[in-house]
């Protein structure tokens, strides 16, 4: 029996739900019971009755499931770490507040919003300050809601997402440390980014438009604002999937997001908007062997697992508050 069949057999025997993000390798993705983007997975995992959630993704996603469903045991075949999420922690968050205070923006003037690509501890810090979590699909609504407080938005950690949504709302944005005055901005962005979505360039777009005059360009809002300005469609992972699947099969399209997801979308006329392969290194760390090893630990009756996700009660309390504020919007 091969590894894939062994995994299928173990899944049938165990009280477990296997969850995989869109960016996972094909061989892992196709075995999952639940697939989706980070927020979809946290919500769908909440609805399962399984004792064990085996989450194939990156660490902050596993934490989100644990925050929303603390009674479940959340295991990860590989605790890979999103590079963007690692760019900010609570210390960096507080240091940024101190810098803004020194530049004339008081903490009381700020409402923090954190992209879901952040640790549970950062989400908790945001929750304690009255702020919210957002995703790439709902950031527009969350920022609009936040602005009704009359405060400036302190957006962490992805500067591109913050800048792109500021543009879409005709608001002024700044990035901490870029030399501009944060007192004049509506949205103040932390200087984080997604390494995969930084691979796409305006030259790539010009190349495809010259080669295929009728081609469409669709990109993720984690891309640089210059890329988003030139695109025909900008949307979250789920929004990109819906948009592309609804196109005429003969319509050519170049897509600026993670390779594995794009590669599964259509059989033809879909191109990667990059001269290099935009594959997320951390999302691709999880292998079939890792999944098998994780399930085998459950099968063997272990009480202490190699890669179980734990979040302390106070962090769960405040991170859940920040997430629930998002759900309410």
- Residue percentage of the chain with pLDDT more than 90: 88
pLDDT in tens, 20-54: 999 999 999 999 999 988 878 888 888 899 999 99
- Here the tokens at position 40 are 């979809």
Q: Round the CA-based radius of gyration of the chain to a whole number and report it.
A: 20
Lowest mean pLDDT among 9-23, 31-45, 53-67: 31-45
pLDDT in tens, 200-224: 999 999 999 999 999 999 999 999 9
Residue 156 predicted with pLDDT over 80? yes
Query: Is the separation of the CB atoms in 316 and 66 below 8 Å?
Result: yes
Lowest mean pLDDT among 113-117, 124-128, 301-305: 301-305
pLDDT band, residue 153 (cuts 50/70/90):
very high
**pLDDT, position 41:** 85
Query: Is the separation of the CB atoms in 17 and 50 below 8 Å?
Result: yes
Return the biggest CA–CA distance within the chain: 65
**pLDDT, position 46:** 83
d(CA 282, CA 284): 5
264: nearest Cα among 248, 244, 247, 287: 244
pLDDT in tens, 281-328: 999 999 999 999 999 999 999 889 999 999 999 999 999 999 999 989
Supply the mean pLDDT for the chain.
94
How many other CB atoms are there within 10 angstroms of residue 315's CB atom? 22
């Amino acid at each position: 029996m091969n590894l894939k069949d062994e995994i299928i057999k173990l899944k049938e025997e165990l009280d477990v739900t296997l969850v995989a993000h869109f960016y996972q390798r094909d061989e892992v993705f196709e075995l999952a019971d639940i697939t989706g983007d980070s927020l979809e997975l946290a919500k769908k995992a909440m609805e399962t009755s399984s004792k064990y959630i085996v989450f194939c993704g990156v660490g902050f996603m596993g934490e989100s499931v644990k925050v929303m469903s603390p009674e479940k045991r959340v295991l990860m075949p590989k605790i890979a770490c999103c590079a963007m999420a690692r760019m900010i922690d609570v210390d960096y968050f507080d240091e940024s507040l101190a810098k803004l205070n020194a530049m004339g923006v008081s903490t009381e003037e700020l409402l923090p919003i954190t992209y879901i690509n952040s640790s549970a501890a950062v989400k908790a810090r945001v929750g304690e300050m009255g702020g919210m979590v957002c995703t790439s699909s709902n950031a527009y609504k969350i920022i609009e809601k936040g602005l009704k407080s009359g405060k400036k938005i302190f957006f962490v950690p992805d500067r591109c997402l913050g800048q792109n949504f500021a543009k879409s709302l005709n608001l002024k944005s700044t990035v901490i440390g870029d030399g501009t005055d944060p007192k004049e901005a509506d949205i103040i962005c932390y200087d984080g980014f997604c390494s995969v979505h930084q691979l796409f360039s305006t030259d790539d777009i010009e190349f495809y438009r010259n080669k295929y005059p009728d081609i469409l360009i669709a990109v993720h809002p984690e891309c640089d604002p210059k890329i988003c300005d030139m695109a025909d469609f900008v949307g979250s992972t789920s929004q990109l999937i819906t948009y592309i699947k609804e196109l005429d099969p003969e319509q050519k399209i170049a897509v600026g997001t993670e390779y594995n997801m794009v590669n599964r979308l259509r059989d033809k006329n879909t191109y990667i908007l990059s001269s290099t392969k935009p594959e997320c290194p951390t999302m691709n760390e999880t292998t079939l062997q890792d999944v098998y090893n994780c399930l085998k630990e459950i099968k063997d009756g272990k009480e202490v697992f190699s890669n179980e996700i734990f979040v302390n009660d106070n962090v769960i309390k405040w991170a859940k508050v920040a997430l629930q504020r998002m759900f309410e919007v």
